[in-house]
């Protein structure tokens, strides 16, 4: 019973902490609300049934079993409703708009994007300060690539949310989606300018080579560590098999005297 409840709780918590990472078509607020409620009821009811059935062979009386099953169903069903509600509402036009707003705000308030660099030297100095490692230019370019990818996702979410909101008469949300869509091109343009300055810097190629060597050395180190761990596991397993074999001999010949090494 404990194992089954743990599995159900794990599912519920996973649903509660799951966020959309890809662009999907929005759903209505009503659909999200009803879907979360039905999911919570279904999982809660199933949990109650499983707990009640699992306690059938215990010494608990029927009223006690019923109370325990009801409590378990209520807790798990509530967690499932909460997780599904958060997940499904993130697919609504309002949820998509909020997610896109967060991505855009992160880009606009980024320490590098928010500054108005007049020269490439100012940008590169800021990059060296922020990513102060052996390869700051490489890390900065990866940072901007990820930011561009997130902005593309935000644009996709805003487009789908605007279309759904317009169809359902949510003109305020549709208007906000258009407003935030208009802010993305300027951010992407700034990012592209910064990345161009970075890759054209004379130190960039050398940093790329050093970074690739570091990555290769790290992969090799992890590979060797994994191989050593596997060797230790196999060695431990062989010793365990040897002990089990000796124990089987002793168990099959209980009257046979044991030879003890002195």
What confidence tens digit (pLDDT) does each residue in 69-122 have?
Answer: 788 888 887 887 777 666 665 668 888 999 999 999 999 999 899 888 888 889
Mean pLDDT of all residues in 242-261: 66
CB 141 within 8 A of CB 199: yes
Long-range CB pairs of 194-200, under 8 A, 24+ apart, other chains included: 194/112, 194/123, 194/140, 194/144, 195/141, 195/144, 195/145, 197/120, 197/123, 197/124, 198/123, 198/124, 198/127, 198/137, 198/140, 198/141, 198/144, 199/141
CA distances to 9, 32, 59, 78, 225 from 47, in Å? 10, 22, 20, 11, 42
Query: Percentage of the chain with pLDDT > 70?
Result: 80
H helices, E strands: number in the chain: 9, 0
What is the DSSP secondary structure assignment for residue 258, as one 8-state letter? P
Q: pTM, whole model, 2 decimals?
A: 0.61
17 band by pLDDT with thresholds 50, 70 and 90 = very low
CB 181 within 8 A of CB 193: no
pLDDT of 89 reads 56
Provide the mean pLDDT of the chain.
80
For 14, half-sphere exposure in the C-beta direction (CA atoms, 13 angstrom radius) is 6
Q: DSSP H helical segments within 20-61, as ranges?
A: 29-54
pLDDT of 2 reads 47
pLDDT of 179 reads 94
Give residues with Cβ within 8 angstroms of 156, minimum separation 6: 23
Please state, in angstroms and rounded to a whole number, the distance separating the CA atoms of residues 161 and 152. Answer: 14
């Amino acid at each position: 019973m404990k194992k089954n409840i743990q599995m159900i709780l794990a599912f519920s918590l996973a649903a509660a902490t799951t966020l959309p990472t890809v662009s999907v078509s929005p759903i209505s607020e009503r659909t999200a609300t009803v879907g979360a409620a039905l999911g919570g009821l279904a999982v809660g009811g199933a949990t109650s049934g499983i707990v009640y059935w699992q306690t059938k062979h215990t010494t608990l009386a029927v009223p006690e079993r019923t109370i325990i099953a009801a409590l378990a169903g209520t807790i798990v069903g509530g967690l499932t409703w909460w997780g599904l509600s958060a997940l499904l509402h993130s697919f609504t036009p309002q949820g998509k708009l909020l997610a896109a707003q967060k991505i855009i705000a992160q880009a606009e308030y980024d320490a590098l994007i928010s500054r108005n660099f007049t020269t490439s030297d100012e940008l590169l100095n800021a990059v060296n300060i922020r990513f102060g490692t052996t390869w700051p230019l490489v890390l900065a370019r990866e940072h901007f690539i990820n930011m561009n990818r997130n902005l593309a996702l935000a644009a996709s979410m805003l487009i789908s949310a605007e279309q759904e909101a317009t169809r359902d008469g949510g003109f305020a949300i549709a208007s906000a989606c258009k407003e935030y869509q208009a802010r993305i091109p300027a951010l992407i343009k700034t990012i592209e300018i910064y990345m161009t300055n970075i890759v054209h810097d004379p130190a960039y190629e050398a940093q790329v080579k050093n970074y690739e060597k570091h990555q290769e050395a790290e992969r090799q180190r992890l590979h060797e560590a994994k191989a050593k761990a596997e060797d230790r596991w196999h060695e431990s397993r062989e010793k365990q098999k040897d002990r089990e074999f000796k124990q089987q001999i002793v168990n099959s010949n209980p009257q046979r005297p044991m030879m003890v090494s002195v």
